[in-house]
Structure 1
Amino acid sequence: MSTSTQPNPALLLAGKKLNNDWQVIDLIPKNPDGTGGNFSHSYNVENLITGERAFLKALDFSKAFKDVDPVPLINKLTGLFQFEQDVLERCRDKRLSRIINLIDSGMVPAEEGTIIPVPYLILELAAGDIYQQLDFSKISHAVNLRILHSVSVALFQLHNNGIAHQDVKPSNVLVVENKPHKLGDLGRADLRGETTPYGLMAFAGDLSYAAPEVHYKAVSSDWVFKRIASDAYQLGSMIVFLYTQLNMTAIMKMHIAPEHNWTNWTQTYREVLPYLYVALEQSVEFFKEFVDDKELAEKLGDLLFQLCDPDPNKRGHPKTITGKNKTISLERYNTIFDRILKDYEMKTLGLKFN
């Protein structure tokens, strides 16, 4: 039977019983405005013994089988899926608390009359991502600071285990019931000292969230100043998004003169840096206008100057980037976001009692 006439098994998992007593409940409709997911589908699942609810990601080979030369694409999809599983298993084994947890994995074999199996991952259930879940018409400083603290901790946990996320954006920050926010989608990650699917790319994530050096094709060959610097920039960009619904790259582009824009610039990155620093300063001032608490705006603005520094060699906390063992580490930001949150909550409580 031709694969073009076969039903797509990745869309027919509802009702199936999987290994380890998992039951597939229903297919989760795709978000028409979402990006990615062309080769996977999502389901709600439940464990028949424990009653635990979870999320299933099913790999869809159907489009690959319809390709003129399907074997290379099938091999690529299999490799990417296995890589994501391996990274998630590493995070689970290291007990990284702010990374979405991999619960189980397996494969639904090809059924009689078909030739397409369905590999799957079962992940900790999330209510959705912050882009879906937040009400941006009612900004909550406390919620935003909790999100920033969680993302900072998640990135530090990854970096501490030689993993760079590479795709930190609102759709990958997940809301988990009765738990801190968690980072998901590690399919674009890179591992220090190891061969990975995207390891040779200057940047593997969503280009609209990429740091300036990526757009100017001036990425460092040093893993820390290439990968950790990129994650640090995206953490800073998350600050901006939570208040403006724009990312830092988009805002900086608004403040870069056309002749200095990466689409037109033909000279070195070092020569364009002075103009980028001006754009950063203007971008931070633009951001502050969206924060109705002046003291908080100043604190977050200071962090933006550090995390979104156009020069990756200067990006990060001053005490680590200029220290004896010059490096980029987000560890201090875990404490900083936590302290800012507690200070804000104490100030709010104080206002209530006055």
Structure 2
Amino acid sequence: MLTAMNPVLCLEGRILEGGWRVGSRLPIRGEAGFEGRTGGNFSVGYIAEREGVSAYMKVFDIGRALSSPPAQIATELQRISTAYLHEKELLELCDSARLDKIVKILGAGSIADGAHVPILYLIFEKADGDIRSLLGSLGAVEDAWRLKHLHQVAIGLAQLHQQKVAHQDLKPSNVFVFEEKKMGAKIGDLGRASRLGKTADHDSFQIAGDPNYAPPEQIYGYEAQDWVDRREACDLYHLGSLICFLFTGLSPTTGILLNIGRDFMPHPFGPWQGVYADALPFLTAAYTRFLSELESKLPFWCKDDLLALIRTACDPDVHRRGDPGARVMFGAPIGMDRYISRLDRLSKKAEVHARISARSKNVQAGA
């Protein structure tokens, strides 16, 4: 992806539709400053500005397509165009439905100057950062901060599900925080999202999102037929994984694979050739061991509540994953509303706990 060969990397100063001006480019993989970031394989980021407002600009990387073998270039360019239209349509759906916990689209279009095929871009409201980068820069983050943002992420997932959209790639780097604007956390990057009744290219992938956060059924090549199990239960697993990450830095997917033993690891991790249903007893046992390890790393005051949330949200059995009370209802919903209410209660309890702890420290300091 050398700058001289890739027009996507040379857009600073361009004036776009709607009066946006392309500002500085963000580091890409292999450049200084990229460390700690994720993504960047299929798009390039810029800061765009208009009338004193800064925004984030996502540019779809045609450089990869142009560097493909000649016979594949047209196919690769069509794939990029399809991905752009898919994400743009979903973002416009979210905007029209007023989904306030999904990062808002501010603009979209193409750049063409005759020297190359049009470059496609999307412009979003600019966050203070993603939750992964902020967690590392804020020092000692309080439990109330974590739980407040987890509650907002759960609301965002519920908003998507109400529109029959599943995110499929929820991870720390796709949760954006708007502290300065007092808007809390929002979910971004719908590039791998699925919409009921509309087929996207990545819907046929065994793992649509980041493999590091993939639920067990995807790793073992199983595809549930029901939309709730196939799509919404994947989002719930990712929510449970986010809880684990924010409080412990651990991943249920990694924890399960480390505890299951090499003989039962699927390709490409190990030699297992069996089906998902046959692996489930071993997955469940490995998950139980992981939860035992997790227990000592959670805050003592909310350990049991968090474990209960994680246990059901990341259950290796996709048909059982979710709130048990909701799962027995008609349609077997995952019960996202129940996770929202529990995270809300925990967030409020965390604020009380923080005030009590601060008061106790002040008393001790004055003694």
TM-score by length of 1: 0.91
**1:96 equivalent among 87, 96, 99:** 99
Residue 311 of structure 1 corresponds to 317
**1:289 equivalent among 296, 301, 316:** 296
Instruction: Find the aligned partners of 2:21 and 2:278 in 1 and give their Cα distance.
Output: 59
Instruction: Find the aligned partners of 1:274 and 1:13 in 2 and give their Cα distance.
Output: 53
Contact 2:144 2:354 in 1 (8 A): no
Residue 71 of structure 1 corresponds to 74
Number of residues paired by the alignment?
346
2:23 partner SS: strand
Contact 2:326 2:333 in 1 (8 A): yes
The runs of 5 or more residues in structure 2 that have no matched partner are: 29-33, 361-367
**1:233 equivalent among 230, 237, 248:** 237
Q: CA deviation at 1:314?
A: 0.9
Distance 1:39 1:281, change over 3 A: closer
Residue 270 of structure 1 corresponds to 277
Distance 1:6 1:29, change over 3 A: closer
Residue 117 of structure 2 corresponds to 116
Q: CA deviation at 1:278?
A: 2.2
Instruction: Find the aligned partners of 2:353 and 2:340 in 1 and give their Cα distance.
Output: 20
1:1-354 equivalence runs, <5 A: 8-30=6-28, 31-32=34-35, 34-48=37-51, 51-68=52-69, 69=71, 70-111=73-114, 114-135=115-136, 138-176=140-178, 177=180, 178-262=182-266, 263-291=270-298, 293-353=299-359
Q: CA deviation at 1:295?
A: 2.9
> Residue by residue, what CA displacement relative to the aligned partner does 1:249-290 show, whole Å, maximum 9, x if unpaired?
001112213333333334443333233222222211212222
Contact 1:173 1:183 in 2 (8 A): yes
Name the aligned partner's letter for residue 63 of structure 1. Answer: R
The runs of 5 or more residues in structure 1 that have no matched partner are: none
Q: Percent identity?
A: 34
> Residue by residue, what CA displacement relative to the aligned partner does 1:201-241 show, whole Å, maximum 9, x if unpaired?
33301112111111222221212111111111111111111
Instruction: Find the aligned partners of 1:35 and 1:133 in 2 and give their Cα distance.
Output: 14
Q: CA deviation at 1:32?
A: 4.6
Contact 1:108 1:117 in 2 (8 A): yes
Contact 1:110 1:118 in 2 (8 A): no
- Aligned-pair Cα RMSD in Å: 2.1
Contact 2:46 2:57 in 1 (8 A): yes
Instruction: Find the aligned partners of 2:353 and 2:134 in 1 and give their Cα distance.
Output: 26
Name the aligned partner's letter for residue 270 of structure 1. Answer: A
Instruction: Find the aligned partners of 1:153 and 1:243 in 2 and give their Cα distance.
Output: 19
Distance 1:277 1:6, change over 3 A: closer
Contact 2:147 2:343 in 1 (8 A): yes
TM-score by length of 2: 0.88
Name the aligned partner's letter for residue 149 of structure 1. Answer: H
Name the aligned partner's letter for residue 303 of structure 1. Answer: L
Moved more, 278-287 or 30-39: 30-39
Contact 1:168 1:235 in 2 (8 A): yes
